Amino acid sequence: MKKVIIIGAGIAGLSAASYALQSGFDVTVYESHRIPGGASTSWRRKGYLFEGGMHWLTGSSPKTVLHKLWREIGALNDSVPIYYRDPFLTLEFKGQTVCLYRDLDRLHKHLLTLAPEDRKEISRLCKDIRNFTKLSMPLTELKGVKAKHKASKSFGSAFAMLPLIPRLAFYGKLSAREYSERFQNPLLRLLVQNITSPDYSALAAIFTMATLTSGDGGYPEGGSLAMADRVAKNVQARGGKILYGTPVEQVLVKDGIAQGVMVRGEFIPSDAVIVTQDTLVAIDTLFDPPIREAWAEKMRKETIPILNTFISVGVEADLSALPETLAFVPEEPLMCGGTSHTLIGINNYAAYPGYAPEGCTALTCILGGDSYDYWKTSKENGSYEAEKQKLAEAFLKILAKKYPQTEGKIAVWDVATPLTYERYLGSYKGSWMTLMKKGVPNKSYPTIPESIKNVYFAGHRISPPGGLPIAAETGRSAVQYLCRDTGEVFQGKE
Ligand SMILES: Cc1cc2nc3c(=O)[nH]c(=O)nc-3n(C[C@H](O)[C@H](O)[C@H](O)COP(=O)(O)OP(=O)(O)OC[C@H]3O[C@@H](n4cnc5c(N)ncnc54)[C@H](O)[C@@H]3O)c2cc1C
């Protein structure tokens, strides 16, 4: 049996492990952290569970092609309830409230009521969202691979795609901020900008809305860590080994062929290595000399990482009457990492059983933006802990002003900075996705390097913008390359 080593037990690594085992390989996964999941994680503090990763999962709907993958790797099964929060987002601005409903007809009517002056633009947007729901992420079969169970190939039927091409081009060349300027109503502008983020391509916002309104993009019960645990158990049940707390130091290459890996100074031989640590870091740190192929240089030059600072709070109050995801403009902006945040988003887990002690609520807040250097400097000059405290206090003040019932009721708070993510993930600046900018065609990086045999790359960085579906799909795809190269039959089955 051919031996495969997989570096990383994030979703990409676990997906690769699952498919490699099903395809008859002997699999060992090396993971630096003590738990599976990588960026798909949650943590407990004083009885509160803070969801640190997944907020919605593309492919949660059985109607999607991707759903098959989630079931094949054990991420989803019939006994895992999926929550579809509705409205997906509630945004308040200057005394008005807009809700991002999942029912497109309801959303259309709601937007028209709020902003009749934008009738034409709203109708165009809703029409496009409806058309875009016909597209869903494909599962493809690599040319030349023998596959036991064929997956669907199409990104949407060619017929469905055709009328969308001009609209794909239209949204693709605008940022969400630029697109929002087509709306006169300030509330709608703010909504359109913040479905994803103002600097992302408008295409990302439209795809997100299409996913949500098509009945997809749910939240599996238990969230990120529970899902990662299911996939890890599935790997172990299929006979795979996962070695936690065991970082790989190097992929050993001789005469252009990977021989295995170095772990704590010891050489572990294997027939193939699948690397799922952030590729942008791995090409420099896991290979000696670093990989300098054209695609790797492009990745070094062009990657704009998505990273964040994450605040989580346990409140001794039942906040189930408040929206599940609320964005609002605070009286004073929140300063984080040298950036002023004028819109604050809060995720409220009051409705989710087990996320807080009885009568209490777990809240989280994601502050996007590249604050890496700020936190790094504060670590170096010794002010890191004080900066975290300052941020938490400023956030709690805003929270108390917005929701007076939280004042004096904070049982616990926690701040994760990009340095926290970097420490746990070994990723570039602690990032976990890649920014999809306007006008940049979405192009994936190669799975196999030209200069080294028996090495396969998978993970979010390989196919921007990344995210859980990409992580899982690239893990699956790496095993298809492996099967093609070794003549094995690729197998994926529930
Ligand atoms: C706050 C937040 C919200 C998010 N929301 C969503 C969402 O709603 N929907 C969505 O689809 N995605 C979301 N994502 C993104 C998604 O979680 C990531 O893109 C995805 O989990 C990446 O998976 P991966 O396996 O490619 O990489 P990672 O999760 O980074 O996994 C890599 C693994 O490799 C391990 N590792 C690294 N180096 C080594 C080494 N040398 N040796 C051994 N092990 C190593 C790391 O410890 C890690 O476990 C979110 C992420 C965050 C942080």
CATH of the domain spanning 3-40+59-79+222-303+438-490? 3.50.50.60
% of residues, the chain, pLDDT over 70: 98
- Among the atoms of ligand 1, which is closest to the Cα of residue 8? 34
Residue with tokens 């807040």: 365
Does residue 345's CB lie within 6 angstroms of at least one atom of ligand 1? Answer: no
Q: Minimal CA–CA distance to 432: which of 53, 176, 60?
A: 53
Buried b (16+ CB within 10 A) or exposed e, 10-29: bbbbbbbbbbbbbbebbbbb
Does residue 426's CB lie within 6 angstroms of at least one atom of ligand 1? Answer: yes
pLDDT above 80 (res 494): no
Does residue 490's CB lie within 6 angstroms of at least one atom of ligand 1? Answer: no
Does residue 12's CB lie within 6 angstroms of at least one atom of ligand 1? Answer: yes
The pLDDT score that the predictor gives to residue 440 is 74
- pTM (2 d.p.): 0.96
Nearest CA to ligand 1 atom 18: 467
The pLDDT score that the predictor gives to residue 109 is 98
Could you read off the pLDDT of 178-209 as tens digits, one per residue? 999 999 999 999 999 999 989 899 999 999 99
The pLDDT score that the predictor gives to residue 153 is 52
The pLDDT score that the predictor gives to residue 247 is 98
- Quote the ligand 1 centre to 55 CA distance (angstroms): 13
- Quote the ligand 1 centre to 423 CA distance (angstroms): 12
Buried b (16+ CB within 10 A) or exposed e, 354-370: ebbeeebbbbbbbbbbb
Does residue 447's CB lie within 6 angstroms of at least one atom of ligand 1? Answer: no
CB 446 within 8 A of CB 295: yes
pLDDT above 70 (res 159): no
**Ligand 1 binding pocket mutation candidate from 15, 42, 51, 54 (most atoms within 8 A of CB):** 54
Q: Which two tokens stand for residue 162?
A: 């055709």
The pLDDT score that the predictor gives to residue 158 is 61
Instruction: Write the CA distances from 128 to 135, 213, 224, 227, 488, integer angstroms.
Output: 11, 12, 31, 32, 43
Could you read off the pLDDT of 284-295 as tens digits, one per residue? 999 999 999 999
492 band by pLDDT with thresholds 50, 70 and 90: confident
- Quote the ligand 1 centre to 301 CA distance (angstroms): 21
Q: Look over the chain and give the mean of its residue pLDDT values, rounded to a whole number.
A: 95
Does residue 39's CB lie within 6 angstroms of at least one atom of ligand 1? Answer: yes
Does residue 433's CB lie within 6 angstroms of at least one atom of ligand 1? Answer: yes
- Among the atoms of ligand 1, which is closest to the Cα of residue 286? 41
- Among the atoms of ligand 1, which is closest to the Cα of residue 224? 17
- Quote the ligand 1 centre to 221 CA distance (angstroms): 19
Could you read off the pLDDT of 93-106 as tens digits, one per residue? 999 999 999 999 99
Buried b (16+ CB within 10 A) or exposed e, 437-473: ebeeeeeebebbbeebebbbbbbbbbbbbbbbbbbbb
- Quote the ligand 1 centre to 276 CA distance (angstroms): 9
pLDDT above 70 (res 155): no
152 band by pLDDT with thresholds 50, 70 and 90: low
Q: How many CB atoms lie within 10 A of CB 420?
A: 17
pLDDT above 60 (res 154): no
Does residue 432's CB lie within 6 angstroms of at least one atom of ligand 1? Answer: yes
Distance CA 127, CA 308 (A): 33
CB 74 within 8 A of CB 234: yes
Ordered by start, the domain boundaries in the chain are 3-40+59-79+222-303+438-490, 100-138+152-214, 308-428
Residue with tokens 């989630």: 70
Range in 55-59, 298-302, 436-440 the model is least confident about:
436-440
Nearest CA to ligand 1 atom 51: 53
Instruction: Name residue 17's amino acid.
Output: A
Range in 146-150, 217-221, 288-292, 356-360 the model is least confident about:
146-150
% of residues, the chain, pLDDT over 90: 89
Does residue 277's CB lie within 6 angstroms of at least one atom of ligand 1? Answer: yes
Could you read off the pLDDT of 410-458 as tens digits, one per residue? 999 999 999 999 999 999 999 999 998 787 777 899 999 999 999 999 9
φ, ψ dihedrals at 348, nearest 5°: -115, 115
3 state SS of 183: coil
Distance CA 410, CA 360 (A): 10
Instruction: Name residue 229's amino acid.
Output: D
366 band by pLDDT with thresholds 50, 70 and 90: very high
CB 372 within 8 A of CB 307: yes
> Which residues have a Cβ under 8 Å from the Cβ of 11 and sit 6 or more positions away?
37, 38, 40, 75, 228, 231, 468, 471, 472, 475
Q: How many Cα atoms within 13 Å fall on the side-chain side of residue 444?
A: 15
Mean pLDDT over 220-241 rounds to: 97
The pLDDT score that the predictor gives to residue 442 is 72
CB 6 within 8 A of CB 277: no
Instruction: Write the CA distances from 405 to 6, 321, 322, 411, integer angstroms.
Output: 48, 12, 11, 13
CB 224 within 8 A of CB 54: yes
Instruction: Write the CA distances from 263 to 242, 246, 279, 326, 457, integer angstroms.
Output: 14, 7, 19, 45, 19
